Structure 1
Amino acid sequence: MRIVTIVRKVAPRCYPNYLKAFEDGDEIFDRFKINTPLRIAHFLAQALYETGRGTVLFESLKYKTTARLLEIFGIGHHSAAIRPDEVDQYLNNDRALAERVYGLSNPKKAKELGNTKPGDGYKYRGGGLLQTTGGANYLRMGKLAGVDFYNNPDLIVSPEAALLPALHEWNEGGLNAYADRNDIRTITRLINGGYNGLSGRTELFEVVWSAIGKSGANQVAWKAATTSDETRELQEALNDLGAEPALVVDGRYGPATAQAVEWFQNHAKIPVDGNAGVVTQAALNLRLNSRTASERP
């Protein structure tokens, strides 16, 4: 099944810009080696999440409510640290908000993004399949793609060029390797800078994987994944701490491993999500080190 066929199935309202890019993109996907069911499913899950299943060309900054704006850009949530007493001027005012969040009114973020002139915050807001953001990134992706995105930002969503920034970002992050391991957490972190929308991205992955499965890739996703030493070490650690039933140490992060992680998280009194993130790994190491110390003569 062609990638564009999958997109049509799972994103029926996808904009023509993107559909045309996918329609003409078979050779480009092959060039970037996004040519296995897991790689295709993970790429599409991220791209379709970032674009509302293909219905977002550029980041919308037209926030209608104070609560939502502060949830995203308020104190403790974003470097912009917008205060309640200044919100009114940014509601339904996307250009002003972009300047406050990404532009010169937020000097640290502007420097990080390479936004150097008034208006750059809006001009270089998130755009395209993986929402490229910031003048420096538009410039960098333009050089990689051979397209002048910096001076012509709208080209980042053009049918001829829309795939290129996303695929170059994917390639720079070495994300095919994580897709091969079915590691959506790491893929999300490297694209998003955190885990925003992880549950939504995971749901989209399952939808895409199901669509691919109907074309013949019927294997469960985690069984199709390659093995990893990190997962083997995790499984061994959980077994050492008494996971019941004991895990098969196969290096694949399947349902049994996730269930064992939840068991440990419950016992360690840390947030329970079945994912062995930084907090869980630290708690595991602490328990293992404490046990080792107590066993010394």
Structure 2
Amino acid sequence: MSFKNLQKALGLDDDGVVGRATLTALFKRLGASQTRADELALAANVHMRTYRILDNELRFAHFIAQLAHESGGFKYMEEIASGSAYEYRSDLGNTQKGDGTRYKGRGPIQLTGRANYRKYGQSLGLDFENNPQIVALPSIGMLVACKYWADNGLNELADKDDVLAITRKINGGVNGLGDRKAKLEIIKNLLGKN
């Protein structure tokens, strides 16, 4: 696999260095609008480096594939469903009436639950618990996704090419595993794996 192959597949200069142009083109290819692709790429270009996701192609492939699944091809930064299914889910920290809707999935990784909004807000110095809607901003959501990825040891699981374990860490189960695997193959193909 090679970032040069990815750049060639996206019709870009193949210098092998993933930057904003490469990320913008990839997000667009996977379904994002131009504006959304630009916003995501701006944040991803910084935060994917900080959280060592760009250290190798396998980490990159798994990260992008999981986020592409969670966000419907980077089209949705907020869960389409109301979130009422998460009401009173103590495993998510949803203990008060309205928490399910208030702390529904947001950002490209679909951060869900009061406990996660509190945890990631506090660790990033942002008040997500009182302002949950800001996680839906593409730049903030990408930061959260990168932090969540690193905090949950997903770089190491990606290094082992373990899509099942990564899916369980992100989803809590294996919902959408087939689509996650399909998206992973798409990214690997763009990277020249096959």
Query: Are 1:60 and 2:44 counterparts?
Result: no
Q: With a CA cutoff of 8 Å and minimum separation of 6, indicate the structure with the bigger relative contact order.
A: 2
- Alpha-carbon RMSD across the aligned residues, in angstroms, is 1.9
- Which of 10, 14, 23 lines up with 2:30 in the alignment? 10
Correspondence for 1:162: 141
Q: Distance in 1 between matches of 2:63 and 2:115?
A: 23
Report the AA paired with residue 137 of structure 1. Answer: N
Structure 2 segments unaligned to the other structure (5+ residues): 1-17
> What displacement does 1:8 show?
2.0
The two structures have a TM-score, normalised by structure 2, of 0.81
Does the 8 Å CA contact 1:42/1:179 hold for their aligned counterparts?
Answer: yes
User: How many residue pairs were aligned?
Assistant: 173
**SS at the partner of 2:140?**
coil
Does the 8 Å CA contact 1:38/1:179 hold for their aligned counterparts?
Answer: yes
> What displacement does 1:160 show?
3.3
Correspondence for 2:67: 47
Correspondence for 1:84: none
Q: Distance in 2 between matches of 1:16 and 1:171?
A: 26
Structure 1 segments unaligned to the other structure (5+ residues): 62-93, 214-218, 221-297
**SS at the partner of 1:126?**
coil
Larger Rg: 1
- Which of 159, 163, 169 lines up with 1:190 in the alignment? 169
**SS at the partner of 1:58?**
coil
Q: Distance in 2 between matches of 1:181 and 1:173?
A: 14
List structure 1 runs of 4+ shifted beyond 6 angstroms.
Answer: none
Does the 8 Å CA contact 2:106/2:141 hold for their aligned counterparts?
Answer: no
Does the 8 Å CA contact 2:152/2:169 hold for their aligned counterparts?
Answer: yes
Report the AA paired with residue 39 of structure 1. Answer: R
Query: Are 1:173 and 2:157 counterparts?
Result: no
Q: Distance in 2 between matches of 1:165 and 1:183?
A: 22
Does the 8 Å CA contact 1:185/1:195 hold for their aligned counterparts?
Answer: yes
Correspondence for 2:121: 142
Correspondence for 2:179: 200
- Which of 87, 108, 124 lines up with 1:103 in the alignment? 87
Does the 8 Å CA contact 1:49/1:200 hold for their aligned counterparts?
Answer: yes
Correspondence for 1:33: 52
State the identity as a percent.
34
> What displacement does 1:15 show?
7.3
Q: Distance in 2 between matches of 1:10 and 1:117?
A: 37
